[in-house]
Structure 1
Amino acid sequence: MAPHLNIVPSMFVLLLLFISASKVQSDAFDVVAKFGAKADGKTDLSKPFLDAWKEACASVTPSTVVIPKGTYLLSKVNLEGPCKAPIEINVQGTIQAPADPSAFKDPNWVRFYSVENFKIIAYEKNTCENREFRSKLPVNIRFDFVTNALIQDITSKDSKLFHINVFACKNITLERLKIEAPDESPNTDGIHMGKSEGVNIIASDIKTGDDCISIGDGTKNMVIKEITCGPGHGISIGSLGKFQNEEPVEGIKISNCTITNTSNGARIKTWPGEHGGAVSEIHFEDITMNNVSSPILIDQQYCPWNKCKKNEESKVKLSNISFKNIRGISALPEAIKFICSGSSPCQNVELADIDIKHNGAEPATSQCLNVKPITSGKLNPIPCSGPVPKTPSATA
C-alpha cells in the first residue's frame, strides 16, 4: 500500500548501536560534552545531534558520535552523507520522540540519506531496557539512497504507516528484525521498498496489519528468506500499475518462509487501468502456509476499496513466475488464484510440488483466468479446477 502522508500516532522502538565498517580508532563527538545536549527528556536533541553528525561527517579521519546514558527528546533527524571518512553513532541512552504528532512536519522521524558503507546493529535484547527510541510518526525509519549497508536487530512496534521504507538503495541487508503492529492497522507494511537493487531481508519476524513485505516498482535482484510473517497481508509484489512510468520489477526470490493467519500468502498485485509495467523472474519457494486465506495469488484486478477503473484490464506484463514446494493450510477453499490480465496474459507461470489443504469441509480449489500454468510434481489442489471471480478485488 502507498502511504498517506498525514501525521498519525505510532510508537517506534529502535534499539540501535551504529557502527562504521572501519575498526580504526575514531575521534569522538559527544553530544552532551561538546554540543550541549541535555539528558532531561525535555530538551530537543535534534540540533546537538545534527551538529555532531555534521562535524563527524566532515572529519577526514574515522569518527564517532556519542549519545551518553540518559533520556533525550528527539523531534526528528535527517542524517545525510556522503561523509569523508567512516562514521559511527554510539547510542548509550534512551531517545524519545514528542508525544504530539503535530510536532512532525515530515513523514519520517529518523532518516538516513546518501550514506555509504555503514552498519546499524542493535544491542542485545536482554540489555536494552534503558536504551530505546520511541516516536510517534507515520514512517518509523527511512533509508534513502543508501549503499552497502547492514541493518541488524532492529525492533519496530505499532507504526501507523510503514515501519521501514527503503528507497533508491543498493546492496543492503536487513537481518534479524522484529516488526509488530495490530492486525487491523492499515498501511503498516513491515518493510516497503522501491527503486532499489541488491536488497536482502533475512531471518526476520513480522507481524503487522498490512503486507509483511511489499515490493514496489524498480526493485531488482532481491532475496527474501527465513521470514516469519503474520498476521498481515503476506509477502507481496506490488501493488503496481497505478502510476505512470513505473520501472520493472525483476529478479526476486522469496524462500524458506512461514506465513500464518494472513489474508494472503505469496502475492503479486497489479491495478486495472492504462498504466503499464513489467514483472519478471519472481520465484516463491519452500514456503509454509498456516491458515492463510489466499495462499497463492496473482491478482491483476487489484482494486482496494473499489477505487479503480473496473472495466479496464491491467497493462502490467507478468512473466517467468514460479511457485515451488509450497505447503500448508488455506483458510478458504480457493487456495490458488491466478487472475491475469486479458490484454496481457501471464506468461511462463510455473506450479511445482504444491500441497495446500482447506481447513474446512470443502476441498481446496484453484482458479485461473488468462493463464495456462506449467505444472510438475505433486499438485493439490488441481490447477485451474475452480470457477474464476470476475470482479476486482475489494480488499487491500
Structure 2
Amino acid sequence: MAPHLNIVPSMFVLLLLFISASKVQSDAFDVVAKFGAKADGKTDLSKPFLDAWKEACASVTPSTVVIPKGTYLLSKVNLEGPCKAPIEINVQGTIQAPADPSAFKDPNWVRFYSVENFKMFGGGIFDGQGSIAYEKNTCENREFRLTLCTNALIQDITSKDSKLFHINVFACKNITLERLKIEAPDESPNTDGIHMGKSEGVNIIASDIKTGDDCISIGDGTKNMVIKEITCGPGHGISIGSLGKFQNEEPVEGIKISNCTITNTSNGARIKTWPGEHGGAVSEIHFEDITMNNVSSPILIDQQYCPWNKCKKNEESKVKLSNISFKNIRGTSALPEAIKFICSGSSPCQNVELADIDIKHNGAEPATSQCLNVKPITSGKLNPIPCSGPVPKTPSAIRLKHTNKFNAIVINIFIHII
C-alpha cells in the first residue's frame, strides 16, 4: 500500500506547481499591437521597441516583449536595466540594421546594459546587412552587446551578416548562449561570431557558427567558461586571445572546449598572444573531443601573433601560459604542420599536455609538428609526433645568431692584427 499512498501527495504537489505557474503568467508587450511598430522593412522599430522595453522593465511581475513575425528596420536600441522582475524578448521576426555603415554613429546596434534575469528566444533573425561594410572594409556596428548583465539566456536566435562582432559579451556573469545560428561570408572582416571579455560563467552550447573571423574569441578576464557542441567553419577557429596587446589585462582561466567540429578554417584550437607589449596569464585551458576537417592549423599556440606586422617582432611575449591540454583531437589538416607550439622564450609554456591526437595531412606529405620553448607532456596515440619538425627561429635566436656572427668577425680581425 505504501507505494500507492505516495502517488496522492506527489500528484498534489504537481497540481500546486501547475496552479502556481499559471498564476505567474508573464505580461506581454507586443511592439505591433500595443506600440505601433510596422513590419514593413522601412519604419524604424527603435521607438516602439524601446517603449515596450521600458514598460516591461518597470513591471513588478515577469514580462515579455514580443516582436511578431515580419521584417523590421532597426536603426539602434539601447535596452537598460535593472528591471523590477525577470524579463524576456520573444523575437519571431527579422530585424534588419541599416545597410549603409555611415548610418551608425557609435559601435552598438542592439545593446543590453545592466540587465538581470533576462531571456531572448523565439527563432527570430538579427540581420546586420553587412555586405556594403565588407566591400568598404568599414566596420561600425556590433550585433548584440551584453554589458554588465547577469543570469541571461539567449536561445534559438540567428545572427546574420553582422558588420562587426555578431555577439559581444562584456563584464557579464552567468550567461548561456544556446542553439544559436551565426553566419557571415568567409571573407567578411572582424565578424567574430561570439566575443567575450571580463566575464565569468559563460556557456556556449550547441551552436552553428560560420563567419569570417574567429567563431569564438575569448578576451582577457574570462573565467570558468564552457564551450561545447559547436560547429565552426568557415572562420578562424576557436581562439583564446589575442592577449598581451594592452596594459593591465586580467587573467584568462578555467576554459573548457569540448565536443566541437571545426571545418575549413584557418585555425582550429588556438591560443594567441602578442610579442613584446604587455604581460598577462592564461591557465587551465582544455580542448577535448574535437574533430578537425581540413583545418590549416588544427592545434596552435602562437606567442608571436603579429597581424599586419604591427608588433615588436624582435621581443618575446610577456604573457604566461600554463596548464593547457589538447586531448582526443582527430581529423585532417589542410597544411602539413598540424601541431605548432611557439611559446615565449622569456616565459616558456608550462604543463602543456597532448593526448590521443590523430591528425592526418590531406596532401601527399605526412603531418608534422614543431615546438619552441615548451616540452609537452604526451600520452596515448600521437600523430603527428610532437616536436618532430624543425625548430623555428625566434627573436632571441636571431639576436644570438647575429651576436655570434659579430663575435666571430671581431675575433678574426683580432687574429689578423696579431
Alignment TM-score, normalising by the size of structure 2: 0.80
How many pairs does the alignment contain? 384
Question: Are the counterparts in 2 of residues 179 and 190 from structure 1 also a CA contact under 8 Å?
Answer: yes
Please say which of residues 357-366 and 36-45 is displaced more in the overlay: 36-45
Question: Are the counterparts in 2 of residues 320 and 349 from structure 1 also a CA contact under 8 Å?
Answer: yes
Change (3 A) 1:364 1:32: closer
Q: Measure the CA separation in 2 of the matches of 1:2 and 1:94.
A: 55
Q: Measure the CA separation in 2 of the matches of 1:370 and 1:164.
A: 35
Q: Measure the CA separation in 1 of the matches of 2:216 and 2:374.
A: 26
SS state at 1:345 partner: coil
Task: State the Cα deviation string for residues 125-175 of structure 1 (Å, max 9, x = none).
Answer: 999999999xxxxxxxx1111111111111112223111111111111111
Change (3 A) 1:72 1:128: farther
Aligned-residue offset at 1:316: 0.1
Q: Measure the CA separation in 1 of the matches of 2:136 and 2:6.
A: 32
Q: Measure the CA separation in 1 of the matches of 2:138 and 2:308.
A: 44
Q: Measure the CA separation in 1 of the matches of 2:38 and 2:11.
A: 23
Aligned-residue offset at 1:349: 0.5
Question: Are the counterparts in 2 of residues 314 and 343 from structure 1 also a CA contact under 8 Å?
Answer: yes
Change (3 A) 1:261 1:255: same
Q: Measure the CA separation in 1 of the matches of 2:213 and 2:12.
A: 17
Aligned-residue offset at 1:113: 1.1
Question: Are the counterparts in 2 of residues 16 and 122 from structure 1 also a CA contact under 8 Å?
Answer: no
Change (3 A) 1:232 1:72: closer
State the superposition RMSD in angstroms: 12.6
Please say which of residues 252-261 and 15-24 is displaced more in the overlay: 15-24
Change (3 A) 1:3 1:318: farther
SS state at 2:54 partner: helix
Query: For the pair shown, which has the larger CA radius of gyration, 1 or 2?
Result: 2
Question: Are the counterparts in 1 of residues 142 and 167 from structure 2 also a CA contact under 8 Å?
Answer: no
Aligned-residue offset at 1:109: 1.5
Q: Measure the CA separation in 2 of the matches of 1:184 and 1:6.
A: 62
SS state at 1:22 partner: helix
Aligned-residue offset at 1:51: 2.1
Please say which of residues 169-178 and 247-256 is displaced more in the overlay: 169-178
Question: Are the counterparts in 2 of residues 321 and 349 from structure 1 also a CA contact under 8 Å?
Answer: yes
Aligned-residue offset at 1:364: 1.2
Task: State the Cα deviation string for residues 252-282 of structure 1 (Å, max 9, x = none).
Answer: 0111111111111111000001300000000
2:142 alignment partner in structure 1: 131
Aligned-residue offset at 1:341: 0.2
Question: Are the counterparts in 1 of residues 108 and 141 from structure 2 also a CA contact under 8 Å?
Answer: no
Aligned-residue offset at 1:103: 2.1
Question: Are the counterparts in 2 of residues 12 and 157 from structure 1 also a CA contact under 8 Å?
Answer: no
Q: Measure the CA separation in 2 of the matches of 1:6 and 1:98.
A: 60
SS state at 2:50 partner: helix
Change (3 A) 1:383 1:329: same
Change (3 A) 1:171 1:263: same
Aligned-residue offset at 1:52: 2.4
Q: Measure the CA separation in 2 of the matches of 1:55 and 1:330.
A: 53
Q: Measure the CA separation in 2 of the matches of 1:3 and 1:102.
A: 70
Aligned-residue offset at 1:229: 1.0
More helix by share: 2
Please say which of residues 264-273 and 108-117 is displaced more in the overlay: 108-117
Question: Are the counterparts in 2 of residues 231 and 261 from structure 1 also a CA contact under 8 Å?
Answer: yes
Q: Measure the CA separation in 2 of the matches of 1:244 and 1:183.
A: 31
Question: Are the counterparts in 1 of residues 101 and 133 from structure 2 also a CA contact under 8 Å?
Answer: no
Q: Measure the CA separation in 1 of the matches of 2:183 and 2:90.
A: 25
Change (3 A) 1:243 1:63: same
Question: Are the counterparts in 2 of residues 14 and 155 from structure 1 also a CA contact under 8 Å?
Answer: no
Task: State the Cα deviation string for residues 323-359 of structure 1 (Å, max 9, x = none).
Answer: 1111111111111111000000000001111111112
Q: Measure the CA separation in 2 of the matches of 1:305 and 1:342.
A: 22
Aligned-residue offset at 1:88: 3.1
Aligned-residue offset at 1:360: 1.6
Q: Measure the CA separation in 2 of the matches of 1:5 and 1:357.
A: 62
Change (3 A) 1:132 1:290: closer
Q: Measure the CA separation in 2 of the matches of 1:6 and 1:107.
A: 59
Question: Are the counterparts in 1 of residues 275 and 303 from structure 2 also a CA contact under 8 Å?
Answer: yes
Is residue 2:395 matched to residue 1:384? no
5+ residue gaps, structure 1, are 134-141
Question: Are the counterparts in 1 of residues 185 and 212 from structure 2 also a CA contact under 8 Å?
Answer: yes
Aligned-residue offset at 1:247: 0.3
Q: Measure the CA separation in 2 of the matches of 1:68 and 1:158.
A: 21
Please say which of residues 181-190 and 121-130 is displaced more in the overlay: 121-130
Q: Measure the CA separation in 2 of the matches of 1:337 and 1:153.
A: 36
Larger relative contact order, structure 1 or 2 (CA cutoff 8 Å, min sep 6) = 1
Aligned-residue offset at 1:34: 4.6
Q: Measure the CA separation in 2 of the matches of 1:260 and 1:319.
A: 27
